[in-house]
Each structure stands twice: as structure tokens, then as C-alpha cells.
Amino acid sequence: MNISEFFLTSMADILVDHPYIEDFLTSFGLIVKPSDDTLQHYLDNLDQDNLEDLGVSDEQLRQSLDDFLTGMLALSDPMDKVESLTIIGGHDKSGKAENLELNLKPGEVICIVGPTGSGKSRLLADIEWVAQGDTPTSRKILINGQVPDSKWRFSTEYKLVAQLSQNMNFVMDLSAEEFIRMHAESRLVTDPEKKVAQILQQANELAGEQFAPDTPVTSLSGGQSRALMIADMAILSKSPIALIDEIENAGIDRKKALDLLVQEEKIILMATHDPILALMGDRRLVIKNGGIDKIIESSEEERKNLVTLEKLDNKLLALRNRIRTGDTLEHIEGV
């Protein structure tokens, strides 16, 4: 959308699809109401005496609005399409070469496994910062097979990785609905209310216990907050790579969470110790001594074992639910 198109848009549509324009106009003390009149008609018919009382002229208002929309359009420019991300191996802590070139595609789930301190975080940092041989591992990261533009490294708007850590603490005095709406509006999405409703619905499908839109974010449980942020990451985040740390501890539907991120065509990197999640991935990167020691493709035999593991997991889930609801476990046959 270019600037001239804004001025041909009705005020009713402006208020729904571009609420930041309403914020701009009301910041000048102007009253904005929905109507079929265009934004240009609204500006042309502003009361001149009122503008004088507000200390702004027609020309100043229009120039300020033009500058504001120029900035907003620059902010909302879509990211370049990431069709592949390549990790060119460096070396581990002892200097042993990794000798690999790993290509990742949108829709893939890559699991990262290894003991604490093995170097999982270093790998993720290399990807996030688009390393070019200038980190302790000397790895290089290519985007679409090429050395990436510097914007992927230094621009706050072009963030390659959206990260969801194990520990989340909200400090904002907002409801879940207000929190998501604020993010949606900052992303300048059209029809933010629709996106807010979609995210809240998805979050409640992921969470073990549902929550209302007016629930304060500070009152959400760990599982509810992780569910909310996974839905937000999938639907609103522009970052082409989703990094999730130990989703098994989130108290959410793991398979649904992965399916949601995959359908949004993101490259998913998942640090996990959960055998079920590990087998859900397309590949596993085994990290040892600061380097990528192995790349394991999920086999058909492993996929068969995944069915067995999921049955066992469902049995454990049923037992956990019985404990939560105050039941006892003297008899667990048939669980």
C-alpha cells in the first residue's frame, strides 16, 4: 500500500485496518469517527478555527501525516523471503572441525540435543546473529545460499529468530487480549481484532487449562503464557525462524504447537530432552564439546517407535490429570 491509497480509504476502514492513523489524529486533539467519507475528505473538511485553536495549520498537519505514514510503511515492509538457511561448520571447543554444510528449509523441525553446557546456546546464537566466521565457533550462516545483507545482523526490524525461552515473566498490567492487541497494532496488521481473536483461540487450544481474554497476563500460568506466546509467534511474528527451548516443560499440547508453527512455514529449531519431540523432528543435531557432533535423520523405525512412545505418554497424561482432579492412583490398570 502506498501513501496515496490511505487518503482514498474510508474513515470506517481506517479505524479498523489502520488504527495507528486514529492515534495520530487524536494526538493532535482531533475527533475521529467512522464514516464512508475518505481520509482526504475528512482532512479537507476540518474546521479551520478548531485547527487554529489546536495550534496546527492544514499544511503542517498534512506534512506531519505524510511523514508519519512514510515511517509506518517503512516499518511494515515485509521481510525478504527466507527460502533456506545454511549452517557452514566451524569447529568445537578443542578446535576439531565440524566439516558440514547443513541446509534448513521453511516447515522443517530441527531438534537440538546435548547435555547442559555442550554448546546448544552457542549454535543458536550463531544463527540468531548470522555469524560470518566471527564467533568463537567460526561458523558461517548463509541466507538463501548467499552471505546475508547486514540488516539481518544489525537492524532491530529484521530479526531472524523469534525465541521462546523456558522462563517467562510478564510485568505489564494488561489483559491477555490487550497485550496481543498491542502487539498486533505495532505490527501494523490489517484488521488487528481478527488476529487477536485468532491468537487467543489458538492459545486456548494449546493450553492445558483455558483462560478468558480479560485474564491479566500476570495471572497466567506457565503453560498458559507459553501457549499465548507460541500462538503469537506463529501468527504475528515476522521472524522466519522459531526457536523454542524445552517445550516439553510448558504444560501445553506439544504436537499442536509444532503443527501450528509448521503450517506458518517457519524453520523450527527446538532444544529438547523429550524423546517424543526429538522423534517428531525431521533431523536431530547432536551437540558435544561446543560442536555439532552428529546429524541424525529421523528414520522410519523411529517413527514407528514414536507411536508407542505417544501411547505411553498419553497414559502418563491420564495419570497426571487424575492427580490434578483429586483422584487417587490405587488402581491404574487399563490406563
pLDDT above 70 (res 98): yes
Q: What is the pLDDT of residue 249?
A: 55
Q: What is the pLDDT of residue 171?
A: 66
Please tell me the pTM assigned to this model: 0.69
55: three-class secondary structure by DSSP: coil
Cα–Cα distance list, 131 to 34, 98, 104, 124, 154 (Å): 49, 15, 16, 10, 12
Q: How many CB atoms lie within 10 A of CB 246?
A: 15
Band (169; pLDDT cuts 50, 70, 90): low
User: pLDDT (tens digit, 9 = 90+) per residue, 24-45?
Assistant: 888 888 888 989 999 999 999 9
Q: Give percent of the chain with pLDDT exceeding 90.
A: 27
Q: Name which of 234, 255, 254, 264 is nearest 107 in CA terms.
A: 264
How large is the average pLDDT for residues 283-287? 94
User: pLDDT (tens digit, 9 = 90+) per residue, 204-257?
Assistant: 988 878 899 999 988 888 888 888 988 998 888 878 888 887 665 556 777 788
